[in-house]
Homo-oligomer: A and B are copies of this chain.
Amino acid sequence: MSRAKTTQTPPPRATIRDVASAAKTGKTSVSRYLNGEQHLLSDALKERIERAIALLDYQPSQMARSLKSGQTRLIGLIIADITNPYSVEVMRGVEAACRQQGLTLLVCNTNNELNQEKHYLQLLSSYRVDGIVINAVGMREDAISALQQSPVPMVLIDRKVNNFSCDVIGLNNVDATRTVTQHLLQQGFEAILFLSEPMTINTRLVRLHTFLQEMQHQPHKFAAQGEVELSDSQGLETLLRDFADRYADKRRAVISVNGALTLVIARAMRRIGMVWGKDIGLLGFDDLEWAELAGVGITTLKQPTYDMGYAALEQLVTRIQGSNEPIQEHAFPGELIVRGSTTLA
């Protein structure tokens, strides 16, 4: 019966005190040993401590350390949609930078839900993370109240939040949208439909406005716009058909505001037998790993997502270290990758 008990209760983790007594010394010396102040210890003592640590498989508790020091060396990353390859690349960048700085990443996925975002913000705060990188759900004020209070340094990725002043890392949306629009015009497209998910996000608005602005200068060209939920495939098909009908005699193209939408648009086109690169042009923000495999290929505007994540963390670290420089907005350039979908035969 004592056996059962032994199995059930795992041996409690060794503490610094255990190590100390095993090494026949005090906690202080062990602590010193751990914190690189080894030059203060006699070789004999070092020896003993080393052995005791190995013997007990001792690992200092970060919890206790953090409690004492007030620094957790934990970074929170809040991502709106981890399903999105864009987010995954950002995450990889942030993570790489964290590793390089000896920080640990706490990743949270809000699934594009505002209350999840609030929940995680509070959670991270209660764990006393040293800083937060956040890809916000929206730009409305809901989340801000919670944000603005917090004394935790933050950096926004991609999406700005109204009335909330904070460093932002993102794409140079204006330049990128101009590039994209000009490319389509140069390829001879005459009617362009800008498709977007709901305009609840700053980035989407900027892209749309820039697009419309670019098109204004064009005398005999036509700009159209549509808004769809990712799940509304019916609505999307209708939108596409209407566009094709209205500009039946023009060379037509569609711009997709982001990668997730591009996938949905491509599927819809498939279903209604509209072939990109032949019946219609297609261009999407965000590069896609399968872009070259889909029919004749899909032209994309690639963002340096990994670098953006990396840069976001670096910026965050300067804030953590107490930097008081004015708010930064770092805009990265995009890269147009031309494929078959925008080079009509």
Contact = CB atoms under 8 A, between A and B. Distances in A.
Contacts of A270: 292-293
A107 interface: yes
Contact of A60 (B64, B126, B149): B126
Interface in A276-297: 288-290, 292-295
A24 interface: no
Given A105-B107, A270-B292, A293-B295, A72 B67 contact: no
A57 B267 CA distance: 48
Contacts of A267: 292-293
A128 B92 contact: no
A141 B10 CA distance: 23
Contact of A104 (B61, B62, B88, B123): B123
A127 B63 contact: yes
Contact of A67 (B64, B104, B123): B64
B109 A92 contact: yes
A32 interface: no
A326 interface: no
A53 to B, nearest CB: 13
A273 interface: no
Report whether over half of chain A's contact residues are helix, strand or loop; otherwise say mixed: mixed
Interface residues of A, number: 48
Nearest to A11: B151
Contacts of A172: none
Nearest to A77: B107
A278 to B, nearest CB: 15
A313 to B, nearest CB: 14
Contact of A294 (B67, B108, B294): B294
A106 interface: yes
A263 B290 contact: yes
A176 interface: no
A328 to B, nearest CB: 17
A57 to B, nearest CB: 6
Interface string A104-121: 111111000000000000
Given A62-B128, A64-B67, 8 more contacts: A59-B122, A62-B127, A63-B66, A105-B107, A105-B108, A106-B107, A263-B293, A266-B293
Chain A to chain B: the 8 pairs with minimum beta-carbon distance, closest first = A290-B290, A107-B107, A10-B151, A293-B294, A62-B127, A62-B126, A59-B126, A63-B67
